[in-house]
Amino acid sequence: MRAHIIDGKALAADLRASIAEAVRALRREHAVVPGIAVVLVGDDPASSVYVRAKSKAVGEAGMKAVDRRLPASTSEAELLALIASLNADPSVNGILVQLPLPRQIDAQKVIAAIDPEKDVDGFHPINVGRLASGLPSLIPCTPMGCVRLARTVHASIAGMDAVVIGRSNIVGKPVAQLLLAENATVTIAHSKTRDLPALCRRADILVAAIGRPEMVRGEWIKPGATVIDVGINRIIDASGKPRIVGDVAYAEAVQCAGAITPVPGGVGPMTIACLLLNTLRATCAQKGLTAPTI
Ligand code: NAP
Ligand code: L37
């Protein structure tokens, strides 16, 4: 069997078009323009690429992006002061602080300082707790994208066996919570997991969020399974060229999976589209408006 390729780029474009339509309606009917502050501290090259892509997508959706770039030498107190001013600014509906932060800054302290209503990354302990409690909340963008991609293949994932490799706060844990909320039977694997290949072979849905190039081999995949590859790994390939690969050995996996997300062009573009959706939802909540179901 050759897998169906889940076209994250096309699905993200559809989602972004629906969001742009909703933003036009918001402007027309309520004179509201959603605004998001995108904060980058330092000059991590990958983060710079993502932040640029996010700000561009915000503009294309008809929202307002406020870019705040701070030097790598920024102190924790300076960043906390910026967060406080963004919390107080009514034209800012969403605040995104791109991680990782330089060593002198405690990321948890910064995340906790963001107004939970403006926390479009869904990383604030209030939103983490609300997600775990089954309450409405702002949901982390990459996990939301993963589940939306899986849902293009399966109208319902209730009762399916899902295995998530990775337990980070950004991806692994929240994606597991979302799959659980969809009534999948969820197992979270990590670096101490015993016999990972055997565990993976039981998965109807396999989410790889590891950060290890092509670690998941074709033989680890149950025939017909849906594979969501979150990994973004920059490697030098056999011919000496730089290339981005996922956490799944794609050429092998595509032979036996039922459906698979490519890297690039899978989860990455959906992450950005879901950030726009969170910004729209946060804006509506702050204005007392009902957010459209997108
Ligand atoms: P992370 O914080 O480094 O977490 C990696 C997780 O993988 C950890 O839980 C770790 O286990 C586990 N792990 C590492 N080696 C393992 C092994 N040999 N066997 C089993 N588990 C192992 O990474 P992250 O932030 O979650 O990101 C994961 C990947 O997704 C990265 O490639 C990142 O670039 C990518 N990413 C992509 C997007 C996107 O939009 N596409 C967004 C965010 C991240 P322990 O907890 O035991 O250490
Ligand atoms: N919100 N996102 C938020 N906060 C963070 O702290 N680290 C992090 C985070 N991660 C993030 O933004 N990841 C991400 C990864 C990939 C893309 C976007 C965001 C992406 O667009 N990927 C493209 C192309 C990648 C490239 O060319 O470098 C893709 O097709 O996968």
pLDDT at 277: 98
Average pLDDT score, the chain: 98
- Asked whether residue 123 is assigned to any structural domain, the reply reads no
Instruction: Provide residues with CB under 6 Å of ligand 2.
Output: 49-50, 53, 96, 98-99, 121, 141, 170, 232, 244, 263-265, 268-269, 271-272
| Average pLDDT for 140-165 | 98
Can you tell me the mean pLDDT for 79-107? 98
Both structure tokens of 59: 């503009």
Nearest Cα residue to atom 17 of ligand 1: 191
- 230 domain-assigned: yes
Residue 162 exposure: Cα atoms within 13 Å on the Cβ side? 30
- CB of 191 closer than 6 angstroms to any ligand 1 atom: yes
Q: What percent of the chain has pLDDT over 70?
A: 100
3-class DSSP assignment, residue 103: coil
Sign of CA dihedral 257, 168, 82, 92: positive
76 in a domain, yes or no? yes
Asked whether 210 and 164 are in contact (CB, 8 A), the reply is: no
169 and 89 housed in the same domain = no
- Shared-domain flag, residues 100 and 161: no
Cβ–Cβ < 8 Å for 165, 216 = yes
Identify whether residues 75 and 177 lie together within a single domain: no
Q: Are 98 and 114 within 8 A, CB to CB?
A: no
Q: Are residues 92 and 197 in the same domain?
A: no
pLDDT value of position 62:
98
Q: What is the CATH number of the domain that holds 47?
A: 3.40.50.10860
Q: Note the pLDDT tens digit of each residue in 156-169.
A: 999 999 999 999 99
pTM recorded for the entire structure: 0.97
User: What is the average per-residue pLDDT within 14-19?
Assistant: 98
Section 52-81 average pLDDT = 97
Residue 278 domain-assigned (yes or no): no
Mean pLDDT of 253-257: 98
Domain for residue 65, yes or no? yes
d(CA 118, CA 111): 11
Catalytic hit among 115, 119, 121, 229: 121
* Substitution site in 228, 229, 271 for ligand 2 pocket (most atoms within 8 Å of beta carbon): 271
**Is the predicted pLDDT of residue 1 greater than 90, yes or no?**
no
Determine the 3-state secondary structure of 64 from DSSP. strand
| Nearest residue (CA) to ligand 1, atom 41 | 268
- pLDDT exceeds cutoff 90 at 112: yes
Average pLDDT score over residue span 125-145: 98
State which of 115, 150, 180 marks the end of a domain: 115
CA of residue 192 relative to chain centroid, distance: 24
- Give a yes or no: residue 23 inside a domain: no
Residue 293 lies in a domain: no
Mean pLDDT along residues 81-107: 98
274 has pLDDT over 90: yes
Is 135 domain-assigned? no
Partner residues linked to 163 by β-bridges:
187, 206
Q: Helices 8-30 and 267-286 meet at what angle, rounded to 10? A: 20
Strand order, beta sheet including 35-41? 64-70, 35-41, 94-97
- Same domain for 255 and 149: yes
Distance CA 32, CA 284 (A): 9
Q: How many domains does the chain have?
A: 2
Which domain range does residue 67 map to? 31-115
pLDDT for 283:
98
Do 256 and 199 belong to one domain?
Answer: yes
Check whether residue 102 and residue 207 sit in a common domain: no
Instruction: Mark whether 72 and 183 lie in a shared domain.
Output: no
Residues 153 and 108 placed together within one structural domain of the fold: no
212 lines ligand 1 (CB under 6 A): yes
For 278-291, what is each residue's pLDDT tens digit?
999 999 999 999 99
Residues 177 and 247 in one domain: yes
Q: Is the CB of 163 under 6 A from ligand 1?
A: no
Active site residue 255: no
Residues 158 and 91 in one domain: no
Find the 74 Cα to ligand 2 centroid distance in Å.
23
**Residue 235 confidence (pLDDT):** 97
- Chain segment 28-46, per-residue pLDDT in tens: 999 999 999 999 999 999 9
Report whether residue 142 contacts ligand 1, using a CB cutoff of 6 Å: yes
Catalytic residue check, 177? no
